[in-house]
Homo-oligomer: A and B are copies of this chain.
Amino acid sequence: MKLIMAVVQDDDSARLMEGLVEAKFRATKLASTGGFLRSGNTTFMIGVDDEKVDKVLHVIRENCQSREQFMSPISPMGGNTDSYVPYPIEVEVGGATVFVLPIEKFVQY
């Protein structure tokens, strides 16, 4: 068995949990912040049999892969309009940092 620790962005967190449940994997979410990824993030802890590690990685990549996205600029609210960009800008979102750890023993009570 392996313990997979995956740090993903908060925005992708609900979608990843859904993807894992659909694929019949069970995960625990740890509240986490900063560091590996740009904004708020969540750390998933997933215990799986060796032969299913690739399947879990597939689900993570499908739901969290780093990608470009067009963001509509927020209209300035009574602020300085000089810096206002009136067209959508491209930003990078998502991404996952994944550690696969060996397990010496796994028990359930």
In the docked arrangement, what's the CA distance between A95 and B26, Å? 14
A70 cross-chain contacts in B, Cβ below 8 A: none
Determine whether the beta carbon of A7 is less than 8 Å from that of B35. no
Scan residues 12-67 of chain A and give those whose CB is less than 8 A from a CB of chain B. Answer: 17, 26-37, 41, 43, 45, 47, 53, 57, 60-61, 64-66
A36 cross-chain contacts in B, Cβ below 8 A: 26-28, 47
Number of copies: 3
Would you give the shortest CB distance from A49 to chain B, in whole angstroms? 13
A104 cross-chain contacts in B, Cβ below 8 A: 2, 100-102
Determine whether the beta carbon of A97 is less than 8 Å from that of B53. no
Known: A31-B32, A53-B105. 14 other contacts (CB 8 A): A5-B45, A26-B35, A27-B34, A28-B35, A28-B41, A29-B32, A29-B33, A31-B33, A47-B97, A61-B109, A96-B107, A100-B106, A100-B107, A101-B102
